[in-house]
Amino acid sequence: MAYVFWTHDLETGFKDIDDQHKHLVECLEQLYVANETNDREKIGKVLEELIFYTADHFAYEERMLEEANYRLVDAHKKVHLNFVNKVLEYQQRFDNGEDVTNDMLNLLEGWLFRHIRINDMGFVADVKKAGIR
């Protein structure tokens, strides 16, 4: 049973960004599956992957926005930083033995899809206008 799905309305038109977003959705799906089986070791590995991959993705996306001189790049970076801090807080709580998986899933699913549909789609036209494909 799949919990989360990639849908075409999430496509920005930037292949690298879309591929990275798809991977994040796959990680989210893995977290749901690990939570269903209550596999704490697997949950920890997926959380670690999410943290490292998200950091790489955010850095890639932010470089692209800077290259395009996107007018809201600083605000976009702040949104990313706030999210990373929240995820790191959950990871710390998880590492301390707390069961935070359901809270983490709610945060990740709500934030990821909303961020792509609102924040990321908000930069598409400006970045394309700057000649970045």
**Cα-trace Rg, the chain:** 15
Statement: residue 26 has pLDDT above 80: yes
CATH number for the segment(s) 14-130:
1.20.120.50
How high is the mean pLDDT of the chain?
95
Statement: residue 107 has pLDDT above 90: yes
The whole-angstrom separation of Cα 119 and Cα 53 is 19
42-89, pLDDT tens digit by residue?
999 999 999 999 999 999 999 999 999 999 999 999 999 999 999 999
The total of other beta-carbon atoms located within 10 Å of residue 17's CB is 20
Residue 42 per-residue DSSP state: H
| Helix or strand (DSSP H, E) at 26 | helix 15-36
